[in-house]
């Protein structure tokens, strides 16, 4: 595993994608500040303060393995890793499907997974993660979603480098096994933190909305939702969940 540090980047994901040929499998890029931090669905990711996590894993698993394993599963794996690392600071975490870690229903981290192809050739994966470690309450006033930061939860400054080391070590501890086994390897850890089981939710899938109750989380990490209007069960493998 190789760690690459930068003071400022536009975005660790953009940089990793642009330069993917130069990096080996299991490289990690991180920086102090991002000038164009990006989230899912083209949202912005707050990245203007140092001492937070702005990091991308560059992964080059064999194509046959990654085609077997949906990208969402890998983000769910990373989400469990994050939850465990955050809990070492004596706080409880929750998981909002598919891959947000929350504390008291306030988002603390986000994951952006991107595949890099050159024509039909698979070049690798970029798994970007942002964790709010050291922000002030006021930093979140213009953020749509309820958000928090680890320092605000435990009342003291967080050492970014210490957190980063824990995160990278924990990620690679079971990564090779996860590629072989997939979601069942983390199912128990995921489900015990899982929010909104049997709750009324709404999932936005591209321009479609499904309103209903989460019935179960399946062995492949997908959700079964009982649609409110029709009572039909819909299986969902991608989307943005709101309550």
* Position 171 contacts ligand BTN (CB under 6 A): no
Region near ligand BTN per CB under 6 A, out of 37-45, 70-78, 88-96, 184-192: 37-45
Q: And the tokens for 203?
A: 């999932």
Q: How far is the CB of 62 from ligand BTN (least distance, A)?
A: 24
| Phi, psi at 123, each rounded to 5° | -105, -25
CA pair distance 56, 195, nearest whole angstrom: 26
- Asked whether position 38 contacts ligand BTN by CB under 6 A, the answer is yes
Query: Any contact of residue 239 with ligand BTN (CB under 6 A)?
Result: no
d(CA 170, CA 67): 24
88: Cβ contacts below 8 Å, ≥ 6 apart:
166
Contact of 63 with 38, CB cutoff 8 Å: no
Give the x/- contact pattern for ligand BTN in 45-64, rule: CB under 6 A.
Answer: x--------xxx--------
Pattern of binders to ligand BTN over 128-147, x per CB under 6 A? xxx-----------------
Candidates 111, 179, 214, 225; binder of ligand BTN (CB under 6 A) is 111
Contact 29, 15 (CB under 8 A): yes
Taking the complex as a whole, how short is the minimal distance between the CB of residue 156 and ligand BTN, in angstroms?
Answer: 23
State the pairing for strand pair 27-34/2-9. parallel
Where on the chain is the footprint of ligand BTN (CB under 6 A)? 11-13, 34, 37-40, 43, 45, 54-56, 110-112, 128-130
């Amino acid at each position: 595993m190789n760690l690459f540090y930068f003071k400022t980047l536009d975005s660790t994901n953009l940089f990793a994608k642009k330069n993917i040929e130069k990096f080996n499998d299991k490289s990690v890029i991180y920086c102090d500040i991002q000038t164009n931090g990006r989230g899912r669905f083209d949202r912005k990711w707050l990245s203007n303060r140092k001492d937070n996590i702005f990091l991308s894993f560059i992964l080059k698993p064999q194509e046959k393995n990654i085609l077997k394993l949906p990208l969402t599963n890998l983000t769910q794996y990373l989400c469990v890793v994050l939850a465990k690392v955050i809990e070492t600071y004596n706080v409880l975490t929750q998981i909002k499907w598919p891959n947000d870690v929350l504390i008291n229903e306030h988002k603390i981290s986000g994951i952006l997974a991107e595949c890099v192809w050159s024509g039909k050739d698979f070049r690798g994966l970029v798994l970007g993660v942002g964790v709010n470690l050291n922000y002030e309450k006021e930093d979140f006033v213009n953020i749509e979603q309820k958000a928090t930061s680890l320092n605000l939860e435990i009342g003291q400054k967080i050492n970014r480098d210490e957190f980063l080391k824990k995160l990278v070590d924990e990620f690679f501890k079971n990564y090779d096994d996860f590629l072989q086994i997939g979601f069942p390897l983390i199912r128990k850890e995921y489900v015990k933190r899982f929010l909104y089981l049997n709750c009324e939710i709404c999932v936005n899938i591209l321009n479609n909305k499904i309103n209903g109750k989460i019935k179960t989380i399946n062995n492949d990490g997908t959700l079964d939702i009982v649609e409110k209007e029709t009572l039909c069960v819909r299986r969902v493998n991608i989307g943005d969940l709101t309550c």
